[in-house]
Amino acid sequence: MRFLRGALVDSEPALELALARALVMDAGSGPVEESLRVYRPASPVVVFGRRDTRLPGFPSAVAAARAAGFEPAVRATGGRAVAYTSDALVVDHVRHEPGATGGQDARFETFGEMFVDLFRGFGVDARLGAVPGEYCPGAHSVNARGVEKLVGTSQRMVPGAWLFSSLVVVGDEGRLRPVLAEVYRCLGQEFDEGSVGSLSREVPGLDVDTVEAAVVDAYVAGRPATPVPVPDDLLETARDLVDQYRIR
């Protein structure tokens, strides 16, 4: 497994998102080594889904994100708006797999249950499933106690490969709730601030470093996983794509 760890030196939310696209495009072009990328966002961001950009309230939602100190961007994977800070982890898992356009539900179940098991090891009452009023609603969210969302997952499939992306909220739920409330109000979508949770809310003192180490261990499952730099060719591809993820 190719293990890419840490934010990019010239990190910006749009470039991080574009790199995930570059990874899955590369995997779809032919057999390549399975890739795992884990990074802590460098700055607060609100990432919109493509469907959000077509709503009449989208410009107002972007302005609201910026006013709250969150940089807006748009992602290629499915779903609705999410927000996170550096007190979170983004996990991008990419695999070359013929017939990747199938198996979507199985991946949601498999990786969702992996996070549930991992969090239960921390003492969290973790469960798989949506919670009422959650941001970026999904049947395979990972939640705490059936009421607060902890992890959102999404996928992108291309012929011959898939990208499974997970957002793990470790902390800062107090910063996320008001900005998400305003963004969803602008977009005209239902949202309950109380649905936003975090791992450190469930287990006080739990930090990103500890969660990151456990997530990596769960993914690599004993396989060698020495961190390597992002290959230059993939970074160049990401830079070519980045304008598709920026919001002016």
Please tell me the pTM assigned to this model. Answer: 0.95
What's the CATH number of domain 2-244, 3.30.200.20, 3.30.930.10, 3.40.50.300, 3.10.580.10? Answer: 3.30.930.10
Dihedral angle, C-alpha 227, 79, 100, 16, nearest 10 °: -30
- Res 81 pLDDT > 80: yes
| Cα dihedral sign, 18-129-6-86 | positive
pLDDT value of position 11? 75
Q: How far apart are CA 61 and CA 46, in angstroms?
A: 10
pLDDT for 232-247, tens place per residue? 999 999 999 999 999 9
Percent of the chain residues past pLDDT 90, beyond the cut: 87
- Res 224 pLDDT > 80: no
Q: In this structure, how many other beta carbons lie within 10 angstroms of the beta carbon of residue 6?
A: 15
pLDDT value of position 77? 76
Domain boundaries, the chain: 2-244
pLDDT value of position 195? 97
Cα–Cα separations (whole angstroms), residue 110 to 39, 113, 142, 225, 230:
21, 5, 12, 21, 27
Q: How far apart are CA 100 and CA 167, in angstroms?
A: 21
